[in-house]
Amino acid sequence: MQSPPTASAAVRGLITIAVALLCAAGMRAAEEPAAPAASGPSAKALLDEALADWDDPAAKQAILREIHDVLPARLTELQGVAERNHDAALEMAGQMVEQANRLVDLKNDEPREYERAVRLCRLEDECLGLAQKARAAQGAAREPLVASLKQKLSEAFDAKQDTMTRQIAAMEAELDELRRRATKRSESRDALIERRALDLLGDRDAEW
C-alpha cells in the first residue's frame, strides 16, 4: 500500500498540509487525559492491528520508525486512549499509520517537502506533549507549561501558514501556465481542428 508519487509543487504542498491536518486530527482525538489503570491493548498491538493488511514488512518498519521518531507524544497518548476505548484507539492508530505512510512517501519522493512535513508534525506532537504536562500540573507549575504551549502553537501556526503560502504560489504558477496553454490553443483553433480531422481520417498523426 503506497500513495501515488506527487505530480506537482501544488500537489506536494497539499500532501504536506494533509500530513499536518492528520497531526491535528490526532491531537483532537487525544484531548482527554489518560486513565491511570492499564487495561487496554498496548500501543504496539494497536499499530500492528492497524497495519494488519500491509504485506510489505519493509514498509511496515518504515512506518513504525516514523511514528516512533516523529510522534512520541501521540504514541504515549495512544496508550491512554486504548485504556478507555479500544475502537477510538484503533481509529487513532489508523490515523497515525496513514500520516506516517505519507511521510515515508514524501521522504522517498520529495525530501525537501518531507523535512517541512516532519517539522510540522513534530511541532504538533510537541504541543500535545506540553498539553499533557500542563493538564497534569497544578498551581504555579502549570503557568510556564501553558506559556511554552502557546509559544509552540505559535511556531506551528507560522509553519502551517508558510506551507499554505508556498502552496498558493505554486498553484498560481500552474494556473498561469494553464492560461498560457489555453490561449495558445485558442489562437491555433482552426489549425488544430484541421490536424485532428486528418488524424481521425487516418491521413496523419496529430496532437489534439
- Global pTM exceeds 0.95: no
Reduced to 3 states, what is the DSSP secondary structure of residue 35? Answer: coil
Containing 70, the helix (H) or strand (E) segment is: helix 57-70
What is the DSSP secondary structure assignment for residue 140, as one 8-state letter?
Answer: G
Tens of pLDDT, residue by residue over 28-80, are: 554 544 444 445 789 999 999 999 999 999 999 999 999 999 999 999 999 99
Residues of the chain with pLDDT under 70: 1-39, 204-208
